[in-house]
Amino acid sequence: MHPAPIRPGATLGLLGGGQLGRMFTLAARNLGFRVHALDPGHDCPAGQVADFEVRAHYNDLYAAQALARGVDVMTVEFENIPSATLEAVAELKPMHPSAFVLHTVQHRLREKRFLQGNGFPVTPFREVNTEGDLREAAQALGLPAVLKTASFGYDGKGQQKLGTDSDLAAAHAALGGQTGILEAWVPFELECSVICARGANGETKTWDVAENAHANHILDTTVFPARIPAEVAAEARQMAVDIAKALGVIGMLAVEFFLKEGGRLLVNELAPRPHNSGHATIDACITSQFEQQVRAVCGLPLGDTTLLRPAAMANLLGDLWPEHGEPAWERLLAYPDVKLHLYGKMEPRKGRKMGHLTVMGNSVEEALDKVVLARAALRG
């Protein structure tokens, strides 16, 4: 027996106030829900559009529980919330995804071991705690390889590529005493991802596979649908569903893959939330990933994920902002079919995600060309 659905008019609690929280809040308000958000920052993107904003650190159990008392269900916009906070909130209100899910994916070793233990294909890896561990791991896996911190890594943070001439002592020192993970270098044809939604009753929905291109370890562009064989796309979507079931996710799960030559998929990373590679779903799909998150955590039927037309998304980073002032948005908006989404961040910084663009076209190639040209117009 599943709990009764949480209907529009109720209040949703959100841990995290960044751009994912902002887009979740906008989707929730469209459906008639109220949103209370907690974030340590001032004037955070979600807080600008939420009904109520709490400014507190994520390890502030009192603030998190006070937020939870005033809402009907809790969710998150990113995974790196302290376990103690998640457990404290879950004592008061339903928490989706669960503390177990978030604890598993917060740490690369736990995540890899979970995937490996459940039979999902992953890159060969080794745990690294000492310089000796690193030398043994490098010998076992071979070089080149990638050394990562096990915790709190995203957008390439805490990662170093090691070659045969790398100074392993210096690479280990750069971990700063944290546990690391060495992953074998994977030659791949492309990177892709699948976003899966799973409700409390076990209902699942996936979107088309997204094809992703990165620059400086940050997602640069995504096209829907990925230009891969249909049977590979079907396998990726099914694997995302299977991982969501194995984890027991209620809410969203993004699964990032490497596609190797010959059509072999390897799971790279998991994110139990909406994902940068799914932003085009706002404009290009019947149901966006953010509306689906609202539906899933509230126990409502999941929406149709059909892609309306081929689409491309391009990130807008702080690098695009001139030294003084704003970009010339009218140049971009001279492209009449470009959809502009800005996140309300006041301080542009190099590598900081400030917004994104989406364009639809008759083909992914047409959409990608248009979105790249439109973004380039901001530079004049």
pLDDT value of residue 151? 86
Within this chain, do residues 257 and 367 fall inside the same structural domain, yes or no?
yes
What pLDDT was estimated at residue 146? 94
Q: Phi/psi of residue 104, each to 5°?
A: -65, -45
CATH at 147:
3.30.1490.20
Distance separating alpha carbons of residues 44 and 46, to the nearest angstrom: 6
Q: What is the pLDDT of residue 155?
A: 56
Q: What is the pLDDT of residue 326?
A: 87
Residue 2: inside a domain, yes or no? no
Per the CB < 8 A criterion, the answer to whether 199 and 281 are in contact is no
Q: What is the CATH number of the domain that holds 42?
A: 3.40.50.20
Instruction: Give Cβ neighbours of residue 46 (< 8 Å, ≥ 6 apart).
Output: 14, 16, 17, 18, 21, 22, 24, 25, 35, 37, 39, 53, 77
* 176 and 204 in a common domain: no
Quote the pLDDT of residue 154.
Answer: 62
In terms of domains, do 211 and 359 share one? yes
Residue 204 main-chain phi, psi, to 5 deg: -130, 150
Averages of pLDDT over runs of 10 residues in the chain (380 residues) are 89 98 98 98 95 97 98 96 95 96 95 98 96 95 94 70 92 93 94 97 98 95 98 98 98 98 96 98 98 98 98 97 88 96 95 97 98 91
Contact criterion met (CB below 8 Å) for 140 and 133: no
Number of domains in the chain: 3
The verdict on 232 and 355 lying in the same domain is: yes
Residue 1 has a pLDDT of 60
Q: What is the pLDDT of residue 159?
A: 86
Return the pLDDT at 379.
Answer: 82
Say yes or no: 198 and 233 in one domain. yes
Domain interval for residue 38:
11-95
pLDDT score of 51 = 98
C-alpha closest to that of 156 among 86, 234, 219, 84: 219
The answer as to whether 208 is a domain residue is yes
Give residues with Cβ within 8 angstroms of 290, minimum separation 6.
Answer: 20, 23, 24, 26, 27, 274, 282
User: Which pLDDT belongs to residue 327?
Assistant: 92
Pair (349, 255) in one structural domain: yes
Note the pLDDT of residue 354.
97
In a domain, 6, yes or no: no
Domain assignment of residue 105, yes or no: no
Domain membership of residue 102 (yes or no) is: no
- Is residue 349 included in any domain, yes or no? yes
**Contacts of 93 by beta carbon, 8 Å cutoff, 6+ apart:** 13, 68, 69, 71, 72, 73, 74
Given this model, what pLDDT does residue 206 score? 98
